[in-house]
Structure 1
Amino acid sequence: MKTNQFRDLTILELSPEVNLAIACDSSASIGEKEHDTVKVDPGVTAACCLRVPLFELICVGAKPISIVDVIGNELEPTGKKMIAGIKREMKKAGLEDIPLNGSTEENMTTSMSSLGITVTGQFTEGFIKPEIRADDYLFQLGEPLVGPEVVANLDSLCSYSELYQLKSETGVADLLPVGSKGMKYEGQLMASENELSIVFHRPDERQLQQSAGPSTVVLIAVSAKLKSEVVKKHPHLIEIGQFKHV
């Protein structure tokens, strides 16, 4: 078995025909417990935590096939609320039929919410590393939000349907969800992976470095030749930069 790392994913090449990708995320101090920093329904916490690995897998073309949650709290009531949130998010992503397994903490009393989620995905045609070319454009889908801002804007976060549509576009060269490191870091990562540089022309430096929490932003690399076609079909995308030779 061959193993390699791509961004935050572990890629397992079990055979020429079977390639898996493993993605994970964690959340702590966000919930309804005494020492939680952000007070919110644990179901929302769990849904946002699941969103991150699902977005990571969808963006590279891996179909999620199993989900495992590790809940560092008791089943009743916190665990049940988290599991319900996970199942709602699975349905939202059209994945309600894949296996869900997990564990809760029944031996210790906890005063802070804690959750980890691991999702396994499978490639139908093997893993193909995205290729971005000089003069391709970088677009932004969604706005960088974190903590209470995410809770206040749950209904307007970029959706799974948008992600699936963009992934199917011929003119889209690469997709990368943005988390705590911000758009500038992730955009530069996309560039360096292709031995390119990136010139940002918007938004401002503060927004470029702002955390995007649970993947509230997705960066989209668009072919220069097919830019107008993609923009016409997805007018809500915001152009923020262009890739150049180093």
Structure 2
Amino acid sequence: MRDIVTIPFSEGDSLIIACDNSGAIGMKEQDHVHISYDTVAYYAFRVSVMECIAAGGEPVSVLLHNFCGNEPWDQLVSGIEKGLSELKFSDVRITGSTESNFQLLQSAIGLMVLGKKSSAKITDLAFTKHLKIAVIGLPLVGNEVIELNDQVAPLAIFHEVSLIKGAMLWPVGSKGILYELNQMFPNEMITQERVVTTVDIIKSAGPSTCFIVCFQPDQEEIIRKITGELLYTIEIRK
């Protein structure tokens, strides 16, 4: 099951709602990870927009819930705009609200991406022995996201892969690759022993620093061309 809500609103279209949050990450003294607020918002947006796109949604709006205070608002919006720019989305509106009555001791934000999906668009595949599976990028968390940024799957690459007809994309979250594989194929009962790959399949991927892509054998060449050295193959044994 994907981490989104799908609400049909017409005969041919549905509303896709994806969200993420961030706590104790920012520029307050008691934050556990100290990074700029534009970076905080960028990665929260990244998670939400990847979930939306992977579910077949075309983003139309971003909603920001800011508990960091009034001052960081512009920086937070700047981080969202950076993500939109990487995706080349110029007509996505940003709105939101700030908690200004009380000051929290730690930074916190919530972020939602709303998207529109055509009901005709198919985003899931059945598991077969011929299906190719790969993870793009590495699972990273905390300061690793900044220090090993060249191993984070870029939004632009994620979007380009999402345009390949028939490919199935699945962002990896804090529960790791193995958990997501079982969400993708719940009837397979995939165990750690069945998975052959060079990537840590248990480790948290933080703000979706990597994603899983499933595709047909004849699509492998184009996917390797797009993803380059960020592609790591996954084999699921019987």
TM-score by length of structure 2 reads: 0.89
Of 50, 53, 63 in structure 2, the residue corresponding to residue 55 of structure 1 is 50
Counterpart AA for 2:24: S
Write the distance in 2 (CA, Å) between the matches of 1:232 and 1:217: 15
Write the distance in 1 (CA, Å) between the matches of 2:215 and 2:124: 11
Matched, 1:213 2:212: no
The 5 A counterparts of 1:69-148 are: 69-76=64-71, 78-126=72-120, 128-135=122-129, 136-148=131-143
Secondary structure in 1 matching 2:185 = helix
Matched, 1:151 2:146: yes
Matched, 1:177 2:153: no
TM-score by length of structure 1 reads: 0.86
In structure 2, what is the equivalent of residue 160 of structure 1? 155
How far has the Cα of 1:129 moved from its partner?
4.7
Of 213, 226, 229 in structure 1, the residue corresponding to residue 218 of structure 2 is 226
Matched, 1:25 2:20: yes
Structure 1 unmatched ranges of 5 or more = 1-5
Structure 2 unmatched ranges of 5 or more = none
How far has the Cα of 1:127 moved from its partner?
5.1
Preserved CA contact (<8 Å) 1:24 1:117: yes
In structure 1, what is the equivalent of residue 6 of structure 2? 11
Once the two structures are overlaid, the 10-residue window that deviates more, 20-29 or 91-100, is 91-100
Percent of aligned pairs with the same amino acid: 29
Counterpart AA for 2:147: A
When residues 243 and 162 of structure 1 are mapped into structure 2, their CA distance, relative to the original with a 3 A threshold, is farther
The 5 A counterparts of 1:184-203 are: 184-192=178-186, 195-198=187-190, 199-203=194-198
Write the distance in 2 (CA, Å) between the matches of 1:89 and 1:165: 14
Following superposition, which runs of at least 4 residues in structure 1 exceed 6 angstroms of deviation?
A: none
Counterpart AA for 2:225: K
Preserved CA contact (<8 Å) 2:161 2:223: no
Superposed CA offset, 1:88-134 (max 9, x none)? 22222222421110011111122210000011010134453512331
The 5 A counterparts of 1:227-242 are: 228-230=220-222, 232-234=224-226, 235-236=228-229, 237-242=231-236
